[in-house]
Homo-oligomer: A and B are copies of this chain.
């Protein structure tokens, strides 16, 4: 809508809100609901292309769950489940993946939202089915096998060698749980997992993990530079401009690094 007047945004935004959130748009009675939510968030942001609506869901849910704002978490989980953009099995994986990148307490809030909003969606469908048990069982390896598997998956996901298992964080935390179990689960594609990860490291804004995950997303070829930049704008709205500003600076630096290495690993292969 690049040549139109901005005044068209409100009507577009109200319609888009209804489609994405599966509930009526809030009346434009405060500056936040009118200018920020109806006009900008739904009138501009959610109408953009660049990444799929499912991918915007993954980024949004991670950002919103990171804030811990219960009403917003509930609303976005409801929208994702009601529209079918995320299945309940996928949502289970989103909660686990989010736990790793934002911690168990905030994930507990997201897990509760999954349960209550799933029940709401099911009741509206006249179906009383509870949240089904996790579709994919947890790991049944020995600890030694898990460590070896974690090293392999780390290399595949991060596109550089895994850390030595010389401290508890690296051994149990990184090689053991995160790459030996979580990233190895098939319930979400690797590309989908990257969108959750990018949103979480942007929100956490710890310098080194943003660098390594932005690098890995781009260098693996899973996510294009344009897609990462859509994530940056999307995170600005949900996590605030300062976090997005830092994220974008990292994207520029990591892309320069990848170009200096001859482009993404997949293209070189």
Contacts and interface: CB of A to CB of B under 8 A. Distances in A.
A169 B207 CA distance: 19
Q: List the number of copies, as a whole number.
A: 3
A21 to B, nearest CB: 12
Interface stretch (A67-75, A79-87, A216-224, A259-267): A67-75
A63, A111, A115, A168 pick with most chain B CB within 10 angstroms: A168
A41 interface: yes
Nearest to A92: B31
A2, A143, A144, A170 pick with most chain B CB within 10 angstroms: A143
A151 to B, nearest CB: 16
Contact of A100 (B2, B173, B240): B240
Interface residues of A, number: 98
Contacts of A31: 92-93, 95-96, 134
A2 B249 contact: no
Interface of A: 1-7, 29-37, 39-41, 44-45, 48, 50, 63-64, 67-69, 71-72, 92-93, 95-96, 99-111, 114-115, 130-131, 133-134, 138-144, 146, 167-170, 172-174, 176-178, 181, 200-201, 204-210, 229-230, 232-233, 236-246, 248-249
8 contacts: A30-B92, A32-B95, A101-B242, A105-B238, A169-B232, A169-B248, A206-B242, A208-B245
A173 B72 CA distance: 22
B141 A173 contact: no
Contact of A238 (B30, B104, B143, B144): B104
A177 B36 CA distance: 9
Nearest to A236: B173
A95 B100 CA distance: 27
Contact of A103 (B100, B237, B245): B237
A96 B240 contact: no
A30 B135 CA distance: 10
